[in-house]
A and B are shown apart, each in its own frame.
Chain A
Amino acid sequence: MNYMPGTASLIQDIDKKHLVLLRDGRTLIGYLRSIDQFANLVLHQTVERIHVGKKYGDIPRGIFVVRGENVVLLGEIVSKESDTPLQQVSIEEILEEQRVEQQAKQESEKLKVQALKERGLSVPRADTLDEY
């Protein structure tokens, strides 16, 4: 039963598998067990999924309690695990891939900043929490 038609409510989503995107960029997948008025979430059998290119890796995390303000979006997962064009790899591999990706990003960022500096422009450091 929809308690509040015309409004958004997570009551319908209880006990269903969800994908939650957090403000710090993490992606969590778990069963939504409990909520409150601030949309704080209790996720069960949570897995943190790291995506690098076409590969992804899952880190089992157990139970998560997420403060509502840190959630960017969440949505129910209906499709099965096999229904994805992405390739699942081991945790070690994906972490390595992530590290490589981060490094490459940092290098390119450094070059960018250098180039800008040479042209007399300086970009202020972005707030690390809300990096998009």
Chain B
Amino acid sequence: MYFGPMSSSVDPALFFSPSAMGQLNFSTPSHMTQLHPQHQRILMQQQGKQWAEVFSCASVSPKKLWSRKADPYAGLMTSKEKDWVVKVQMMQLQSENMDDDYYYQTYYHQLERKQAEEELLGRRNKPPKLVTPFIQKVETYDSVVRIAGSLGQVTVSTCYSPRRAIDAVHHALVEEELPPYPVLFYQLFLQLLEVEEVQQKMSMALREQQPHREEKKTQKVESIYQALKIRACSSEEEAEDEFLQLLCVRKGKKLMARLLPHLIREQREKILLTITHHLPFLMKKDMLDESLPLLYSPLNEVVGEMTFNRLIEVLQELTRPLPESSELPLTMALKNQFGISLLYSLLSHGERLLSSRVPLKPCRGDFEAWTDTVYLMSQELSRLPTTSLAEPLFLPSNLVLLFCRYLDKQTVYHLAAKMTE
């Protein structure tokens, strides 16, 4: 390593290794404008000197010329790479502040002083010139610089701002990352956690304290429900609807799954209705994540409590034709794991209601809608190849019975085989 300016004798190795030739082709990089002017001057002088010396071969003795063998491995580090390292190192020298690079600044001040003295001794008639170092003020700067084609980042600091830690993650790749969860999520989760806490305390505490806790819990649950802003929206508005957006994200589905048990029946059924209404949209958005099954379990419970009339309402969401597609939501659902599980769950519950002794209290058209749905289901099930049918999370045992009610033995047998495959 060399400290201080290069003496006039040039290392012979510089002439005969490929790297040296590369070095001599070095042109002033832009960052040099930020250097101490004395430094700049010296560098320019040296460049000129080197060129002259190469061509004149003035200061090299013949003996030294031939004593070195050619190094076959030399030049691994190209001049471009050397320039790059120097550039990085020079960048870190930029400062207005003495404290940032004391040795660099002191050296150049001293050098200037010495040169001024020498000039003074040489030419006493000329008054000493006051040379003030010009350091360009940089208005804005990137505290972390990425040089193209290199790994990692370099910190650049001035006296205006201290060294900033290099970012561990490079932010140019932001487009591929998912957007961060909205603040609402965290709020909802916090509220949900509080609800669950109260629930836990309730189950463990004595009866007398229940009403107070119960009230607190229902209040909290209600506030969460309101925050969800579940409302009717058309298929065009699906992408903008806040509730559906929540459901498109895994965390949102988890939130719903945990919230559903705490809601009242009406609210749960409304959620089920909304989900079924927008099922094609949700299934499409879930293709990467495949997190819809998280909702199966709580929704299954909701289904299990529904009245026949409500059940028909939900089923009708799946059988109504869509404007943008020739496929029915029911068919689409059969190809999706969550969809097929939900369908089975709905049909199974219907069958349970029909076979039980409880009076159903149907509305007009309910039974027709029911039989239509069952026929449609069997039709689609037999039409679709087994490979495109998704595997359900759970296969209810009474579906075969259901089909037996309406269809002939052969068809039932065929469907049963398909469902269990």
> For residue A1, which residues in chain B have a CB less than 8 angstroms away from its CB?
6, 23-24, 26, 43, 46-47, 50
Find A15's partner among B3, B42, B71, B89 (CB 8 Å cutoff). Answer: B71
Task: Let me know if A11 and B86 touch, CB within 8 A.
Answer: yes
> For residue A13, which residues in chain B have a CB less than 8 angstroms away from its CB?
1
Surface stretch bound by B, among A30-38, A53-61, A93-101, A104-112: A30-38
Task: Let me know if B74 and A7 touch, CB within 8 A.
Answer: no
Say yes or no: is A5 at the interface (Cβ < 8 Å to chain B): yes
How far is it, in angstroms, between the C-alpha of A109 and the C-alpha of B111 when the chains are bound? 52
Say yes or no: is A124 at the interface (Cβ < 8 Å to chain B): no
Q: Which of A1-22 contact B (CB under 8 A)?
A: 1-16
Task: Let me know if B6 and A4 touch, CB within 8 A.
Answer: no
> For residue A34, which residues in chain B have a CB less than 8 angstroms away from its CB?
76-77, 81
28 CB-based A-B contacts, threshold 8 Å: A1-B23, A1-B24, A1-B46, A1-B47, A4-B90, A5-B5, A5-B6, A6-B5, A6-B39, A7-B89, A7-B104, A8-B3, A9-B2, A10-B1, A11-B82, A13-B1, A14-B19, A15-B13, A15-B71, A15-B73, A15-B74, A15-B75, A15-B76, A31-B71, A34-B81, A37-B92, A75-B1, A76-B1
How far in angstroms is the closest Cβ of chain B from A18? 10
> For residue A9, which residues in chain B have a CB less than 8 angstroms away from its CB?
1-2, 86, 89
Interface string of A56-84 (1 = CB under 8 A from B): 00000000000000000001100000000
User: Known: A7-B104, A12-B2. Contact between A35 and B85, CB under 8 A?
Assistant: yes
How far is it, in angstroms, between the C-alpha of A11 and the C-alpha of B78 when the chains are bound? 11
> For residue B92, which residues in chain A have a CB less than 8 angstroms away from its CB?
37
- Greatest chain A CB density within 10 A among B4, B47, B77, B154 is at B77
Task: Let me know if B46 and A2 touch, CB within 8 A.
Answer: yes
Question: Chain A residue with minimal CB distance to B105?
Answer: A6
Interface string of B48-81 (1 = CB under 8 A from A): 0010000000000000000000010111110001
Interface string of B19-39 (1 = CB under 8 A from A): 100011010000000000001
How far in angstroms is the closest Cβ of chain A from B264? 63
Task: Let me know if A6 and B19 touch, CB within 8 A.
Answer: no
Secondary structure of the B side of the interface? helix
Say yes or no: is B17 at the interface (Cβ < 8 Å to chain A): yes
How far is it, in angstroms, between the C-alpha of A95 and the C-alpha of B88 when the chains are bound? 42
> For residue B399, which residues in chain A have a CB less than 8 angstroms away from its CB?
none
Question: Chain A residue with minimal CB distance to B3?
Answer: A8
Task: Let me know if A15 and B17 touch, CB within 8 A.
Answer: yes
Question: Chain B residue with minimal CB distance to A11?
Answer: B82
- Greatest chain A CB density within 10 A among B2, B88, B154 is at B2
Task: Let me know if B5 and A2 touch, CB within 8 A.
Answer: yes
> For residue B367, which residues in chain A have a CB less than 8 angstroms away from its CB?
none
> For residue A16, which residues in chain B have a CB less than 8 angstroms away from its CB?
13
How far is it, in angstroms, between the C-alpha of A76 and the C-alpha of B13 when the chains are bound? 14
> For residue B71, which residues in chain A have a CB less than 8 angstroms away from its CB?
15, 31
Find B2's partner among A2, A15, A33, A42 (CB 8 Å cutoff). Answer: A2
> For residue A33, which residues in chain B have a CB less than 8 angstroms away from its CB?
73, 76-77
> For residue B39, which residues in chain A have a CB less than 8 angstroms away from its CB?
4-6
Q: Which of B214-231 contact A (CB under 8 A)?
A: none
Task: Let me know if B42 and A5 touch, CB within 8 A.
Answer: yes
Top 9 A-B residue pairs of the complex, sorted by shortest distance between their CB atoms: A6-B107, A2-B6, A37-B88, A5-B5, A34-B77, A33-B76, A15-B74, A3-B86, A1-B46
